[in-house]
Structure formats: C-alpha cells, structure tokens
Amino acid sequence: MELKGKTILITGGASGIGLEAAKQFLEIGAKVIITGRNQERLDAAKSMHPNLTTIKSDVSKEEDVKLLFNIVSQLGGIDILYNNAAVLTSPFNLGVVNDKHIVNAAYEMEVNYFGVIRINNIFMDMLKSKKEAAIINTTSILSMVPSLIEATYSSSKVALAFYTISLREHLKIVGSTLKIFELIPPLVATEMTAERNDKKISTEQMVKGLIKGLQKNQDTIRVGDAKLVDIIRRFFPKTAFGLVNPKKANQILK
C-alpha cells in the first residue's frame, strides 16, 4: 500500500505508539490527523510536529465521533483510519468479589471494542469511496494468549480480532477494495506498560514494523515477539501461556 500522500487519522495519537506513528507517517510524506482526550497532550504533540492536525475526541462518546467526522469531512476526508486508542485498567483478581470488576470491564470494552466499531461505522462510506483506503485495527499479543492480570483487556482484543476478520470478509463479499489490517503488537514500552518489567520493544520499532506490513499489504501484521508467540501457542499452548503469564503474575493476584 502506498502511504505517501495519504491522509491518515490516528485515534489516541497524542502519546505512545500513536504519536510515534504520526511522526513516522509524516516523514514518509503522509498527512496526519491525531485525536485524543487530553488537550494538553494534543498541544504538546502539535508543538513537536507542527504539520500535525489535532482534534480533541473520545471514541467512547458517540457525539464526539460524529463531531470528529464532520471536522474531518470539512478538511477533505481521510484515506486511512488507524484505530490505536485503547485503555487498560488496574490489574485485579477476578476470583475476589469487587464492585470495580464490572465498571472497569465495561470501560475497557467501550473504548477498546465498541469504540472501534463506532468510529469505523461512521467513516466506512468515506473510506469505501476512495481508490485506495484502509482501516487498521490494533489488537494485541493478548488476543492470542490471555493475561491473568489483564483479563478484560485481553477479551476486548479477542473480540476486536474476530470483528476485524469478519469485517474484512464482509467487504470482500460486497466487492469493496477497502483494506482491513490487523496490527498485533507485542509488549511495547509506553506509559500503559511502565510498571511492567517484561521484555518490551520501543515505539519506534513497533511503528517501523507496522509501516513495513502496510507497504507489503499484509492483512495481519505481527510485530516483534508477537510472531514468535503466534507460532508457540499453536503447538505448545501451555508454554505460550507461561511466557505471557510469568509466576509473578500469580503473586500479583494473591
């Protein structure tokens, strides 16, 4: 897929992987729009990369997504929608009754799963009208092997992975050329994973892997250890589970 000259909308683009993606897409020659819930972070991103267009928006709120669509339409539309926004609540033990379980689970599903469907639906016709366009849905290594301490996050990414496959096939059936990519990152060094001491890759490495996959038109883009875990879990599922859930995970839940 050609990225130069494309207009790319990145949700959750004010920090972490999203901000690094914005930087690298700009370097390629793409036009980039980022969204986020924090205006200060958006302003900081704009200061670092003046060519960015920033729009405050929350994918969990329907009114925000509608307003975002109207603004983007006035700007001339987009060619690529990169669903990067996601949330992860604090680790908790499902085996111990806690009122926060359902609240946290609902929040994670609202952003990580329903938020993607919400924004995809409203931008779908715009993207289908383009000669070459794409949607990138970000799942996770945890969509292949669940995390004991991030159960609902893992579940939200499994749901998104299945939705992505279904969406891709539905579009083929109706004869659409809109490309649907699934990005499967490993553990990446961001604020979300700051408290974890496991092996991580940099956001720069992560985005380089994404861009390489897009340019090769790989439907499923596995980066770093996501490739290895995918192979191991097929033949040695218990080993893969142990890699994702080291013994210290059991200690956190006690």
Catalytic residues: 153
Q: Which helix (H) or strand (E) holds 16?
A: helix 16-28
Please report which helix (H) or strand (E) contains residue 33, including its range.
strand 31-36
Q: Give residue for tokens 């009114």.
A: 63
Half-sphere exposure of 7 (CA within 13 A, CB side): 13
Exposure of 250 by Cβ count < 10 A (0-12 exposed, 13-18 middle, 19+ buried)? exposed
The per-residue DSSP string of 41-69 comes to HHHHHHHH-TT-EEEE--TT-HHHHHHHH
CA separation, residue 166 to residues 15, 40, 159, 170, 216 (Å): 30, 37, 11, 6, 21
Cβ neighbors of 195 (< 8 A, separation 6 or more) are none
- Give the whole-angstrom CA distance, residue 5 versus residue 25: 10
- The tokens describing 50, both together, are 């003046």
> Cβ distance 181 to 196 under 8 Å?
no
Give the separation between CA 68 and CA 50, rounded to whole angstroms: 20
Strand 7-10 vs strand 179-184: parallel, antiparallel, or unpaired? unpaired
